[in-house]
Copies of this chain bind each other. A is one copy, B any other.
Amino acid sequence: MNALTEGQRLRRPVPDAMWEALQARFGDRLSRAEAVREHHGRDESPYPAMLPDAVVFAQGTDDVAFVAGLCNAHGIPLIPYGSGSSLEGHLLAIEGGISLDLQAMNQIVSVNAEDLTATVQAGVTRKQLNENLRDTGLFFPIDPGADASLGGMAATRASGTNAVRYGTMRENVMSLTVVTADGRVIRTASRARKSSAGYDLTRVFVGSEGTLGIITEVTVRLYPQPEAVAAAVCNFDSLDAAVQCVIETIQLGVPVARVEFMDAAAVRSVNLHSKMTLRESPMLVFEFHGSPAGVQEQAGLVQDLAREHGGKDFEWAERPEDRNRLWTARHNAYFAGLQLRPGCRASTTDVCVPISRLAECVGAAAQALAAASFPSTIVGHVGDGNFHVLMLLDPDSQAEWDESERINHAIVRQAIEADGTCTGEHGVGLHKMQFMAQEHGEDALALMRSLKHAFDPNNILNPGKIVSW
């Protein structure tokens, strides 16, 4: 598919002195094996792998600082690797260099139950954290589809199905430990819930995709596990009716925890993948959190709204196991979609628009997809105005790739014209760089570039991602 060829890459050769220094410190934790490099030079994007020169397996912040210092001294690219689930080519070593695998940095450093905070190493995954919290009565709500690492989630400003109630990584990261380009270790903030003490370094690094510094520890906000939880699905005759129901839910101030849209194809894929029997028409999946009385009240209000918009079969998942099954199915929508076309690679869109513009944007996308030569599904975090198109492509067909890119461009153009963004939660990586000027304007992009130059003067940190040098 579409990617830089080896010939186009500006590979920077790693000097012998640097190999020796890495070998001396890391021994077995340095690998130059093809299979290991291949595994670290790809992600879930449609791009073919672009291999780093070596992989280093870090065990702590001091390892990261050591490698950063070395790469900076020699001008060698350094790409942090969490769980490899990014979707936009974030991890591709387009200029070679070192992939720094942080998966062994998987310690829960501290849980402060009174303060509703936890500090974890960057390699801890969201499921691991929630397993660990189970007995505390607390939970961490941010849930991208994959079981991503907290470091990676912070680096891509991830969110998921709970964002409408609990926010994204932007709102839920309180502080980070970061290794700078020259190997210094900083902490971006205290554990105070709010601060006006200078520039917001935390938010500078959240969403910076490894291009400004390497996140090695993350302090996040936790929430009390809700006393009562209820989930339900409801089918609609049209996308428009479903979205209108969501707009009115939000405007009424119903603190809905989740509200997800799936088109008929997405429901079908989930039925096939998870052996479910959901009705295959436009569907909303709701979840309500609160006290038992509060949940009942919220659910009643939303049921009334759904009925007004022709919603059918408000079906409750009462038992925790039914609820988990439903949400697991929703989280697996990406992989379920892939199975609609065996052997395919997926290209996903991720636009997010003001909710008043959502119906027209999803509608136009659906129309374009109906005429496409490949299958696709649409799912959306509709409470946030964020939706994903999953285009299922023959990896050997340039024609399909080109067609998907045309549709992708049209979806993004319309989203930006609607005062939205080209990416709600997946990040820029390689694939969205082409939209940055259109979305932000050249002057804002120039400011981003000056930030990159200030924080990474030798351009070693995940070079060639987000903004060109």
CB within 8 Å for A352 and B193 given contacts A444-B187, A454-B450: yes
Distance between Cα atoms of A465 and B395 in the complex (Å): 55
- Give which listed residue, B185, B250, B355, B448, contacts A201 with CB less than 8 A: B448
Q: List 5 A-B contacts (CB under 8 A).
A: A114-B354, A159-B194, A200-B204, A291-B297, A450-B454
Chain B nearest CB, measured from A335 CB (Å): 21
Question: What's the nearest-Cβ distance from chain B to residue A152, in Å?
Answer: 12
Q: Which B residues lie within 8 Å of A425 (CB)? A: 194, 196
Per-residue interface assignment for chain A, residues 434 to 469, with 1 indicating a CB less than 8 Å from any chain B CB and 0 otherwise: 011001110111011011111100000000001100
Q: Which positions in A face B, CB cutoff 8 Å?
A: 112-117, 137, 156-159, 163, 167-168, 170-171, 180, 184-201, 203-204, 206-208, 212, 223-224, 226-227, 247, 250-253, 255, 291, 293-294, 297, 350, 352-356, 384-386, 416, 419-428, 432, 435-436, 439-441, 443-445, 447-448, 450-455, 466-467
Contacts A200-B206, A206-B200; A352 near B443 (Cβ below 8 A): no
Residue from the list B158, B189, B227, B451 in contact with A454, Cβ < 8 A: B451
B195 pairs with A466, CB closer than 8 A: no
Task: For the complex formed, measure the closest distance between the CB of A204 and the CB atoms of chain B, giving whole angstroms.
Answer: 6
Please tell me how many copies of the chain the complex holds: 2
User: Which has the most chain B C-beta neighbours within 10 Å: A115, A201, A356?
Assistant: A115
Of the residues B116, B424, B428, contact of A194 by C-beta under 8 Å: B424
Write the chain B residue with the least CB distance to A351: B192
- In the complex, what residues of B have CB within 8 A of residue A386's CB? 192-194
> A195 and B424 in contact (CB under 8 A), knowing A297-B294, A451-B454?
yes
Which residues of chain B have C-beta atoms less than 8 A from A187's C-beta?
Answer: 440-441, 444
Partner pick for A204 among B171, B199, B252, B452, CB 8 A cutoff: B199
* CB atoms of B167 and A171 under 8 A apart: yes
Residues of chain B with a CB closer than 8 A to A356's CB: 112, 114-115
CB distance A253 to B443 under 8 Å?
A: no
Q: Which 7 A-B pairs have the closest CB atoms?
A: A203-B203, A224-B253, A454-B454, A114-B356, A195-B421, A192-B352, A186-B444
Closest to A211 in B: B199
Q: Is the Cβ of B444 less than 8 Å from the Cβ of A455?
A: no
List chain B residues, Cβ under 8 A from A427. 196
CA distance A420 to B212 in the complex (A): 25
